């Protein structure tokens, strides 16, 4: 009998990426769920899900998420919904004796005032940036809760910390999307309407971006091969860090629209940098090759144009 892997948030950006590589893991049966299948903020529904599926493993991706401006506007929802989701999932994983859980955090939850590059040991050193503090604290509590289950019950509950993710099946909303998908949609509209491609802020902030299918492969590696109990950063290296301006230019280049870029400096930039140290990952998985950002952006834009009518936007 094959082992069952339950993937929460299974139809989001990373969940869809795992779906695209599941054929590589023939000895496992994958069950992908979305908020349409189960309201994970509801304990009764979550228990019913676990009773029906009886998973051996869980990859926990489900979260209430958004870009910079959504984090600022909906602080209460960011905190409460994520706390409920994470509590219910881990409690059920314990109660139903799941063999291993890999929960997804984010580098955006690290301290605002810190030294760089940040590593796994620095997560709780000081407060996160105030622009996403409620989301960040809820996610930090997911790591605290995972470690509590490890220490009290010996449960194999770990957390991975990816950097900024992008790729096919992203949320391309102009209001709530993260930077790459939102800029892709914005540039698409600007070219269609023959308008300026306006990027909010100065374009100076630095970010590390990971292509969703790279992260999917690393999530499966974390589930099946990573043996430690401590959290691990899943990210490209510091040398692959790019500015928002570079990202905007690359997107415009793919649309052949570079001459129409403009930066609106009246908008806030958010945190200037969040450089993550991926040396732990590279020491354990040193043969892993990341997709170059220009290639990942091209694949994402091609998918967005092809699926414009039905994609999230």
Catalytic residues, which ones?
A: 135
Q: Which two tokens stand for residue 42?
A: 């509801």
Element housing 190 (H / E): helix 179-193
Question: Residue with structure tokens 């990952």?
Answer: 281
Residue 242, classed as helix, strand or coil, is strand
Rounded-to-integer distance, Cα 131 and Cα 178, Å: 14
CB atoms within 10 A of CB 1: 5
Torsion of CA 213, 122, 181, 78, to 10 degrees: 110
Rounded-to-integer distance, Cα 82 and Cα 295, Å: 32
Rounded-to-integer distance, Cα 220 and Cα 217, Å: 5
CB atoms within 10 A of CB 122: 16
Distances (CA, A) of 302 to 127, 252, 298: 39, 13, 6
């Amino acid at each position: 009998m094959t082992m069952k892997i339950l993937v929460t948030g299974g139809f989001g950006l990373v969940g869809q990426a795992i779906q695209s590589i599941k054929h590589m893991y023939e000895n496992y049966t994958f069950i992908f769920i979305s908020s349409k299948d189960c309201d994970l903020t509801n304990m009764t529904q979550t228990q019913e899900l676990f009773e029906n599926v009886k998973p051996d493993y869980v990859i926990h991706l489900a979260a209430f998420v958004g870009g910079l401006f959504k984090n600022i506007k909906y602080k209460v929802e960011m905190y409460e919904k994520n706390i409920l989701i994470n509590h219910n999932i881990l409690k059920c994983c314990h109660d139903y004796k799941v063999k291993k859980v890999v929960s997804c955090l984010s580098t955006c939850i690290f301290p605002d005032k810190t030294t760089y590059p940040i590593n796994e040991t620095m997560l709780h050193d000081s407060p996160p940036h105030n622009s996403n503090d409620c989301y960040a604290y809820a996610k930090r509590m997911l790591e605290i809760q995972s470690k509590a289950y490890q220490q009290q019950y010996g449960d194999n509950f770990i957390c991975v910390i990816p950097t900024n993710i992008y790729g096919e099946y992203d949320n391309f909303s102009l209001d709530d999307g993260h930077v790459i998908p939102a800029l892709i949609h914005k540039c698409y509209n600007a070219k269609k309407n023959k308008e300026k491609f306006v990027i909010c802020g100065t374009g100076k902030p630095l970010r590390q971006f990971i292509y969703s299918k790279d992260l999917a492969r690393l999530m499966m590696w974390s589930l099946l091969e990573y043996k430690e109990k401590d959290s691990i950063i899943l990210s490209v290296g510091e040398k692959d860090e790019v500015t928002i301006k570079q990202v905007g230019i690359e997107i415009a280049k793919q649309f052949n629209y570079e001459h129409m870029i403009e930066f609106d400096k009246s908008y806030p930039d958010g945190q200037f940098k969040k450089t993550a140290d991926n040396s732990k990952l590279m020491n354990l998985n040193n043969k892993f090759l990341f997709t170059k950002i220009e290639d990942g952006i091209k694949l994402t834009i091609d998918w967005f144009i092809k699926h414009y009518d039905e994609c999230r936007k």
